[in-house]
């Protein structure tokens, strides 16, 4: 195997770990890290999307607002969660929770785990692009600290729709990309079979994002991956969240917002 | 009146070709290029099909003659991933440059419509499918910030396949960057009008294109997030007639108005009259910039 081939293979192994069927999902982390999580339902406009969940939860002395993409474990739950691919209602529920977090001054903790927003006719009819775009603005302007953590897959605008914040943490074997490798291969070459090549070219591993300066921290996973020890993975995630939250809470809100703006402003800035 | 295309996948190239006669993608009938060009509208005089326009053609149609002062002409995309699809990314950029005569998939600058100063940005589908990489996002953000700083309205005309794969996650983050800048524009009370043209998809729709105070679209334009092919592969759904056309989006409440091209200048003047505060115009001063240039004739791909 060529060097290039072995790098591609190693990258693909990361993609498969990020999608491992036994990998802990958002609710596994939520129940392990927070106390008293109270799930809120519905976007107050159309319905309740089970691919995005959220609500207030206790983290030490404070209440935080948790927003998360949730995949299903069993066949029935996978269908119910739509494989973690949200419709507009999911993003609009998230928007409702962002606004509520601001009103009560709850920091926002967002767990990203999706291959992307749901590509469906109904999603288009109900303005999936509009829902995501509105969240980008709401998160950029929310006057509370926001910590984003990628648990497994961070796919495309569907991930970013709950993923704008003051810190980006990534679990060691998580990935984050402009498009999932299959979609990228389909767009560039109209050939999904070239997904491994696409994965390598996209530089989508946690280590890649850290090296490129986009991720602030990689949260270590137990040997072999988070699925081998949920408790250890959640402890590491919880510790990282607490540490970053404490730092952000010490920053005056106007400065926090300016720093958040500059965080994105300088990505690809030429001057 | 304006025929909506069935099927919708095969399209004419990015710009009208320079032949004496061309076949209309809307009605398949022969059209005299000279007649399309004479009106400068590039609308089929038989079926109303709207040909894709290049940015300078669009600006010539909508902005006051001689008012465009182009900015950021020197911005060139970096290659943060060292991406190679079948050719290196740098070669893709070079292809785009040779084909379009610009460094990126957007042209923007200061301009005026009906004497009213504004910031005008226009995406170029001929340049890598109008895709948004970091330089594209940077130019759009510079345009938004310029409008915010000078307190003049913002007009963005979109034509894009979405985020640019070759810059990976950096492209994705341009969605957040442009949206954050628009948040500040909105907070400053500066009006923003977007005109969605064929096609406007993916990360461009899901960021700055859909965040305008007033959203206009051209008849028959394909507008959406996921492409029809992707949706069919994922869901096996039968897509409704006219799915993701401008008219479809209007019916679903996503855009304010579908405007036939000949009516666009009047519609924009009407909106500027309504949204612009007169004192903003008095304070307007052009910022000097070394690479600012006079408008140049449209380059056709």
Higher pLDDT: B295 or A227? It is A227
The CATH number fitting domain B53-283, selected from 3.40.228.10, 3.30.720.120, 3.90.226.10, 3.40.50.720: 3.90.226.10
pTM exceeds 0.90: yes
- Average pLDDT (A30-55) is 98
What fold characterizes domain A3-264? Answer: 2-enoyl-CoA Hydratase; Chain A, domain 1 (3.90.226)
Mean pLDDT for chain B overall: 88
Predicted pLDDT of residue A220: 98
Indicate the pLDDT class of residue A271, thresholds 50, 70 and 90. low
Predicted pLDDT of residue B20: 86
Give per-residue burial for A2-35: e unless 16+ CB within 10 Å, then b.
eeeeeebeebbebbebbbeeebbbbbbbbeebbe
Q: Do B243 and A124 touch (CB under 8 A)?
A: yes
Q: Output the CA–CA distances (angstroms, integers) from residue A200 to A10, A177, B134, B235, in the order listed.
A: 9, 11, 20, 27
Q: Does A98 touch chain B (CB under 8 A)?
A: no
> Is pLDDT of B234 > 60?
yes
> Is pLDDT of B114 > 80?
yes
Q: How far is A244 from chain B (nearest CA, A)?
A: 21
Which chain B residues are Cβ-neighbours of A4 within 8 angstroms? none
Nearest to B169 among A119, A140, A204 (CB): A204
Q: What percent of chain B has pLDDT over 90?
A: 78
Query: What phi, psi does A111 have (nearest 5°)?
Result: -105, 120
- Average pLDDT (B158-171) is 98
- Average pLDDT (B70-88) is 95
Q: Do B211 and A160 touch (CB under 8 A)?
A: no
Nearest CA in chain B to A195: B85
Q: What is the pLDDT of residues A118-170, one digit of tens each?
A: 999 999 999 999 999 999 999 999 999 999 999 999 999 999 999 999 999 99
> Is pLDDT of B224 > 60?
yes
Q: How far is A27 from chain B (nearest CA, A)?
A: 26
- Average pLDDT (A72-97) is 97
Q: What is the pLDDT of residues B14-23, one digit of tens each?
A: 455 567 898 9
Give the integer Cα–Cα distance in Å for B158 and A208: 31
Partner A, chain B 32-71, Cβ-Cβ below 8 Å:
none
> Is pLDDT of B287 > 80?
no
The radius of gyration of chain A from alpha carbons, rounded to an integer in Å, stands at: 18
Residue A217 CB: number of other CB atoms within 10 A? 15
- Average pLDDT (B173-182) is 98
Among A209, A268, A270, the residue to mutate for chain B (most B Cβ within 10 A): A268
Q: Do A124 and B244 touch (CB under 8 A)?
A: yes
> Is pLDDT of B120 > 80?
yes
Domain-wise residue ranges, chain A: 3-264
> Is pLDDT of B280 > 70?
no
Nearest to B183 among A127, A141, A201 (CB): A141
- Average pLDDT (B199-206) is 98
Indicate the pLDDT class of residue B47, thresholds 50, 70 and 90. very high
Q: Does B242 touch chain A (CB under 8 A)?
A: no
Predicted pLDDT of residue B277: 61
Q: How far is B238 from chain A (nearest CA, A)?
A: 9
Predicted pLDDT of residue A3: 72
- Average pLDDT (B34-39) is 84
| CB contact set of A33 (below 8 Å; sequence gap of 6+) | A59, A234, A237, A238, A241
> Is pLDDT of A268 > 90?
no
Predicted pLDDT of residue A1: 47
């Amino acid at each position: 195997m060529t060097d290039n081939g072995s790098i591609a293979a190693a990258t693909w192994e990361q993609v498969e770990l990020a999608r491992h069927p036994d990998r802990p999902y958002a609710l596994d982390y939520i129940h392990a890290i927070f106390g008293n999580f109270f799930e809120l339902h519905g976007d107050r406009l159309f319905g309740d999307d089970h691919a995005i969940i959220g609500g207030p939860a206790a983290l030490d002395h404070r209440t935080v607002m948790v927003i998360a993409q949730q995949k299903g474990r069993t066949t029935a739950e996978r269908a119910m969660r739509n494989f973690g691919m949200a419709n507009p209602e999911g993003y609009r529920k998230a928007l409702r929770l962002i606004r509520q977090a601001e009103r009560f001054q709850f920091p926002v903790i967002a767990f990203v785990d999706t291959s992307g927003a749901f590509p469906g006719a109904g999603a288009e009819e109900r303005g999936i692009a509009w829902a995501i775009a509105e969240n980008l603005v709401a998160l950029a302007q929310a006057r509370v600290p926001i910590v984003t953590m990628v648990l497994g897959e961070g796919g495309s605008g569907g991930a970013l729709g709950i993923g704008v914040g003051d810190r980006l943490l990534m679990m060691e074997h998580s990935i984050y990309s402009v498009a999932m490798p299959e979609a990228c291969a389909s767009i560039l070459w109209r050939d999904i079979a070239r997904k491994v090549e696409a994965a390598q070219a996209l530089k989508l591993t946690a280590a890649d994002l850290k090296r490129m300066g986009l991720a602030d921290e990689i949260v270590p996973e137990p040997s072999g991956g988070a699925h081998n020890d949920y408790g250890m993975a959640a402890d590491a995630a919880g510790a990282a969240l607490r540490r970053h939250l404490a730092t952000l809470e010490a920053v005056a809100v106007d400065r926090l917002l300016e720093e958040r703006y500059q965080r994105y402003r300088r990505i690809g800035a030429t001057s | 009146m304006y025929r909506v295309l069935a099927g919708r996948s095969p399209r004419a190239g990015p710009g009208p070709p320079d032949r004496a006669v061309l076949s209309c993608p809307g009605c398949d009938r022969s059209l005299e290029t000279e007649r399309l060009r004479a009106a400068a509208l590039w609308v089929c005089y038989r079926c109303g099909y709207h040909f894709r326009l290049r940015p300078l053609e669009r600006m010539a149609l909508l902005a006051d003659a001689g008012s465009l002062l182009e900015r950021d002409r020197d911005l060139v995309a970096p290659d943060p991933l060292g991406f190679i699809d079948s050719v290196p990314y740098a070669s893709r950029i070079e292809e785009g440059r040779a084909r379009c005569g610009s460094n990126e998939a957007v042209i923007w600058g200061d301009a005026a419509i009906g004497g009213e100063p504004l910031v005008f940005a226009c995406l170029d589908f001929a340049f890598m499918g109008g895709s948004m990489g970091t330089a594209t996002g940077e130019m759009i953000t510079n345009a938004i910030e310029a409008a915010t700083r000078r307190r003049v309205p913002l007009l963005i005309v979109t034509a894009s396949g979405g985020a640019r794969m070759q810059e990976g996650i950096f492209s994705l983050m341009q969605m957040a960057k442009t949206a954050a800048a628009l948040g500040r524009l909105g907070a400053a009370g500066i009006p923003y009008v977007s005109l969605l043209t064929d096609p406007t998809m993916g990360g461009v729709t899901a960021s700055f294109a859909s965040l305008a105070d007033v959203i206009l679209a051209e008849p028959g334009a394909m507008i959406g997030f996921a492409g029809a092919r992707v949706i069919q592969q994922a869901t096996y759904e039968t897509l409704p007639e006219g799915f993701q056309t401008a008219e479809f989006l209007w019916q679903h409440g996503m855009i304010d108005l579908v405007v036939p091209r000949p009516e666009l200048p009047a519609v924009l003047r009407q909106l500027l009259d309504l949204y612009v505060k007169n004192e903003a115009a008095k304070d307007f001063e052009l910022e000097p910039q070394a690479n600012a240039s006079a408008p140049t004739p449209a380059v056709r791909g």
